[in-house]
Amino acid sequence: MDRLEALAMRADAEVIFDEKTVQAAVDRVGDEICARLTEAYPLVLCVMTGGVVFCGQLLTRLQFPLDFDYLHATRYGAENEGGKLAWRAAPWKSVKGRTVLVVDDILDEGITLAAVRHSLLQQGASEVLVAVLADKAHGRPKPIAADFVGLSVPDRFVFGCGMDAGGAWRNLPAIYAKKESA
């Protein structure tokens, strides 16, 4: 996508959740995580690249000691590796014996996050919790449920707040969706 295509996409989109609503959701998720993990000294793992906006905002709301790292994982299509997880960047810090909080932008199909969770548990994490800014309500079963959810988004192409549209618009402070065809 080039600059003009990105601008056209943004111009033809509608706001699903404005910045104020997004920030209220981040506040609420931060409060829920504090209530659950204040005594845990967790390892917080940001899922790159989509999770960086939400994770950065969320970290400032967590008023307890924690360790921080990141991961970048992707899933190959079934024709390549049968959906196995490929680590572009594994966490540097050990998860063994730790409570781990994985932070991502959106829970869509859930296959990659489920594989990340499974891998972290196999590496010895004592508990793996998942926080997402958005959970897509598409009505199909998911192999994982997030422990902390900011907002439920409709089954539409959404972007902003870390979610991209062809590589663009992760930086928007609100959540947008492509307009539905009439």
Catalytic residues: 108
Alpha-carbon distances, residue 13 vs 46, 54, 91, 120, 152 (angstroms): 27, 21, 35, 37, 18
In terms of Cα–Cα distance, which of 39, 43, 91 is closest to 63? 39
Concatenated DSSP letters for 107-140? ESS-HHHHHHHHHHHHTT-SEEEEEEEEEEE-SS
Report the interhelical angle of 52-59 vs 19-37 (nearest 10°): 60
Concatenated DSSP letters for 24-86? HHHHHHHHHHHHHHTTT-PEEEEETTTTHHHHHHHHTT--S--EEEEEEEEE--HHHHTT-EE
Radius of gyration for the chain, computed over Cα atoms and rounded to the nearest angstrom: 16
Which residue in the block uniquely carries the two structure tokens 């921080």? 68
